[in-house]
Amino acid sequence: MKNLIVFILTLGLLYSCSDDDYGSDPVDPVDPPVAENNAVRLRTDGNFGNVMTNSDGFTLYFFAPDTKDGSNCNGSCEGAWPAFFADNLTLDNGLSASDFGEITRNDGSKQTTYKGWPLYLFANDPSAGDINGDGSGGVWFVAKPDYTIMIARSQLVGRDIDGNETNLTSTYEEGDEDTFYITDAEGNTLYSFINDKEDTNNFTADDFSNNGVWPIFEATLENVPSVLDKADFGKISIGNREQITYKGWPLYFFGQDVERGDNYGVGFPQAGAWPVLNQNSNPAPEALEPPTKKYSITNQGATAYVFNGEDLTDEVNPDITLKRGETYEFTVNTPGHPLFIKSAQTTGTGDQYNNGVTDNGASQGVIKFVVPNDAPNTLFYICEFHSPMTGTFTIVD
């Protein structure tokens, strides 16, 4: 019994010593090593959502003038906004290595970029997690991985229809001036079209045959810089595709902008036809319905229709120009002579063109024609029974 008690006491002493020394040996620690922080980390901020930081948790930033492959923050600027560079680029989950790159600065040092934007720290962020630099000077923005839109500031260089390049101001006059404008997340310039209306694209063809010249901006809208109001963005349907809008303006790229930071479209085909946009841009004008154009139609026996209205006075079988998207009303009082709008100049009831037409073939009543955007260039009106009673509708944009 005595030997058993001694054994138990000895065993308890051994375990007590082991607990006191657990992990205390610096050569052979028992605690698992702490994993090294990634060079670029993701942190969720209560105001900004997902933001990028360095390995120590200090916030990273973008600079709006960095529209090309270089940094525009040098000298005294760099003292307040130190360039960030990660020689060994390790990333938190949610970040893709393909979005990162590096540039060589004016002094020969390296700087890490994200989607083409050089990355910076802010000297006035004293603690990890601080975001004191966002919006500074209207040009510094917290670096987020999920911007859909960014803000750039640089010289506008327009290229006209003949390929001539000219420095332009924010009013599209010849001159030197840095202008703010919105871009996509990678810094590619976005444009509006002067002939568009609120939420109305008046450029893109139904078959997208001209989309290569001015491609529509298609994206899923996530986040925008803090100087912009996300509520100002929307989307419209163009065929079976969706185009992002800003303040009602449909947004486009320019097909001749090859490199990040190009803004040649402000000069094409002449300056100001395709303006850039920023937070001070006016909303797109409301798309007002054009007034309905009205005609009255009688007949001269079985030989002719007689038109009055819209600058026509007792015109016999006139040829009339109609515009796509506009509305026309023809008040017909021609008993026994039904008037049909047709795709071919034939009597009878065949070849009717009914797209946008109501009451086609009326002899007493109102024929209404809302000319569709895909209407053919030529249509005809003709009596069901008498071939001399006819004329041509020429359809234009």
pLDDT tens, position by position, 184-203: 999 999 999 999 999 999 99
Q: Are residues 330 and 375 in the same domain?
A: yes
Q: Are residues 310 and 366 in the same domain?
A: yes
Q: Are residues 69 and 120 in the same domain?
A: yes
Which are the contacts of 12, defined by CB distance < 8 A and separation ≥ 6?
none
Helix (H) or strand (E) holding 321: strand 320-323
pLDDT tens, position by position, 204-247: 998 999 999 999 999 999 999 999 999 999 999 998 999 999 99
DSSP state of 19: H
pLDDT tens, position by position, 346-373: 999 999 999 999 999 999 999 999 999 8
Per-residue pLDDT at 343 exceeds 50: yes
Q: Are residues 122 and 187 in the same domain?
A: no
Say if residues 49 and 42 touch (Cβ distance below 8 Å): no
What's the number of domains the chain is made of?
Answer: 3
Higher pLDDT, 130 or 15: 130
Which are the contacts of 96, defined by CB distance < 8 A and separation ≥ 6?
none
* Region of residue 336 (left: phi > 0; alpha: psi -120 to 50; beta: else): left
Distance separating alpha carbons of residues 149 and 219, to the nearest angstrom: 10
Mean pLDDT of the chain: 91
| Domain span holding position 116 | 40-146
- 359 within domain boundaries: yes
Helix (H) or strand (E) holding 20: helix 2-20
Q: Which of 69, 54, 223 is nearest to 128 (CA)?
A: 54
Distance separating alpha carbons of residues 367 and 356, to the nearest angstrom: 10
Per-residue pLDDT at 11 exceeds 60: no
- 20 within domain boundaries: no
- 203 within domain boundaries: yes
- 18 within domain boundaries: no
Unique residue bearing structure tokens 């019994």: 1
Name the phi and psi angles at 212, rounded to 5: -70, -25
Helix (H) or strand (E) holding 18: helix 2-20
Q: What CATH number is given to the structural domain containing 338?
A: 2.60.40.420
- 27 within domain boundaries: no
Which amino acid is it at 51? V
Distance separating alpha carbons of residues 279 and 301, to the nearest angstrom: 64
Q: Are residues 168 and 82 in the same domain?
A: no
- 324 within domain boundaries: yes
The residue among 101, 127, 146 that closes a domain is: 146
pLDDT tens, position by position, 238-281: 989 999 999 999 999 999 999 999 999 999 999 999 999 999 99
pLDDT tens, position by position, 120-163: 999 999 999 999 999 999 999 999 999 999 999 999 999 999 99
Q: Are residues 307 and 343 in the same domain?
A: yes
What integer pLDDT is reported at residue 17 of this predicted model? 35
Distance separating alpha carbons of residues 41 and 59, to the nearest angstrom: 9
What length is written for the chain? Answer: 397
* Mean pLDDT value across residues 61-73: 96
The residue among 146, 181, 197 that closes a domain is: 146
Q: What percentage of the chain carries pLDDT values higher than 70?
A: 91
Q: Are residues 344 and 391 in the same domain?
A: yes
Distance separating alpha carbons of residues 263 and 160, to the nearest angstrom: 12
Q: What percentage of the chain carries pLDDT values higher than 90?
A: 87
What integer pLDDT is reported at residue 325 of this predicted model? 87
* Mean pLDDT value across residues 377-383: 98
The residue among 146, 176, 199 that closes a domain is: 146
Q: Are residues 69 and 167 in the same domain?
A: no
CA 329 to chain centre: 38
What integer pLDDT is reported at residue 36 of this predicted model? 63
- The tokens describing 145, both together, are 């991985």
pLDDT band per the 50, 70, 90 thresholds, residue 289: confident
Q: Are residues 61 and 140 in the same domain?
A: yes
What integer pLDDT is reported at residue 288 of this predicted model? 80
pLDDT band per the 50, 70, 90 thresholds, residue 22: very low
Distance separating alpha carbons of residues 233 and 397, to the nearest angstrom: 28
Say if residues 142 and 133 touch (Cβ distance below 8 Å): yes
- 31 within domain boundaries: no
- 85 within domain boundaries: yes
Q: Are residues 187 and 261 in the same domain?
A: yes
Q: Are residues 134 and 159 in the same domain?
A: no
Q: Could you give the count of Cα atoms lying within 13 Å of 46 in the half-sphere of its Cβ?
A: 2
Q: Are residues 93 and 137 in the same domain?
A: yes
- The tokens describing 78, both together, are 């760099």
What integer pLDDT is reported at residue 35 of this predicted model? 44
Q: What is the DSSP string of 235-278?
A: EEEETTEEEEEETTEE-B--TT--STT--GGGGSSSTTSS----
Distance separating alpha carbons of residues 60 and 39, to the nearest angstrom: 11
